[in-house]
Amino acid sequence: MSGNTSNETKIRALAERIYDLDAQVYASLGSSLGRVFNRDRERCVRELVSLMMTRPEGNLVRSEIALIGNMARTIQDKELRRMIMAEYNRILQEVIALPTSFGEGDVVDQNLASLNALNLKNRFQGSDKLIICIGRTYGSGGNEIGFTLADALKINFYDAEIFSAVLKRLEAEKDRVEDQAGYKFGPEKKEMEQAFAKPEKRTIRDCMREFSRYHGLSKRDAVFFNQSDLICDMAKKESFIVMGRCADVILTNNRIPHISIFITAPFEQRLRRIMEINRLDEKKARRLLKQVDRQHMQYYKFYTGRKWGNAVNYDLCVNSAAYGIEGSVEFIKRMLESEENL
């Protein structure tokens, strides 16, 4: 009991540091985009403690920390930026070290890893901005790889949670339109909810109201075009890694240079990881994996006309089971080392 109390005390102290870091970044920028944690301190700290003590929800903490890091990198004062990023890095390492962290649950298969002899001398022609688009199968560790890679490269990271926040802050969507391809409550939880939920019933009146509200577009289409415009606009201003969102095809269609990566792993390897992380039995985990992958495939096909996960559509496909999360990050980094200004 005392051990649990001690652990919770440490996590609370960490949550307070995260809240204070956000406040310091906001004060330094005076940003019109607002703070990540814009409610009262005690409520935010309690929510952070709860998230950090619940393993499947650790991805939400990752997204919130990444958003703070994205903002901190825009601070003009170099010394202040250095000090804030040093605290950011310390906090990040402490969060990763937590027993409930998103950093756990590797996908490595030691047998495959022992056979790894890939040539790391591939070189890509880059532009002034480095844009990396990552698609991934569920359970392959793709989000963790993308987040860790962005932090290593010191560039911004955008997943579904962050994208939803950015869209709202830039008022690119009206009346709290949610990202229909994303997950407001974090990838794992929302994907589980969607996989096991009953189909939503919609009346003709609902459809007509939506048609009028979004100028003839469905809500999902309206959000897709909003996020497409945002991706293209960001690509002109900053380097970043973006998870999903059909970003690879969006940038290709707009002739914006980028690197597209697809991360996957054998089904059984992903199944074991999802069972461990989400504490599901094999039957539910198997159903979840198939359902989430099907949703991603259908969304990608609908908006791009391409086959999701088809190797010919990507610059690089990575079997994360052959490397693990850290090994996959290292492999991609070494591939990019020849790029200028990384």
pLDDT digits (tens, 9 = 90+) for 17-28: 999 998 888 888
Give the chain's mean pLDDT. 77
pLDDT digits (tens, 9 = 90+) for 71-100: 888 888 889 999 999 999 898 888 877 766
Query: What does the pLDDT average to over 273-277?
Result: 90
Residue 6 to residue 13: CA distance in whole angstroms: 11
Residue 253 to residue 231: CA distance in whole angstroms: 12
Residue 76 in tokens: 């003009």
Residue 105 to residue 285: CA distance in whole angstroms: 15
Q: For residue 227, what is the enclosing H or E element?
A: helix 219-235
Residue pair 219/210 in contact (Cβ under 8 Å)? The answer is yes
Residue pair 143/273 in contact (Cβ under 8 Å)? The answer is no
Strands 131-136 and 156-158: unpaired
Residue 229 to residue 235: CA distance in whole angstroms: 10
Residue 249 to residue 156: CA distance in whole angstroms: 20
Q: Any idea which fold 106-342 has?
A: Rossmann fold (3.40.50)
**Tokens 């949703």 found at:** 295
Residue pair 69/88 in contact (Cβ under 8 Å)? The answer is yes
Amino acid at position 82, single letter: R
Instruction: Write down the pLDDT at residue 97.
Output: 77
Query: What does the pLDDT average to over 232-236?
Result: 89
pLDDT digits (tens, 9 = 90+) for 172-203: 444 443 444 443 334 444 444 444 444 455 56
Closest CA to 174 of 219, 233, 229: 219
* Delimiting residues of CATH 3.40.50.300 domain(s) in the chain: 106-342
341 Cβ neighbours under 8 A, 6+ residues apart: 128, 130
Give the confidence band of 49 by pLDDT, cuts at 50, 70, 90: confident
Amino acid at position 157, single letter: F
Amino acid at position 268, single letter: E
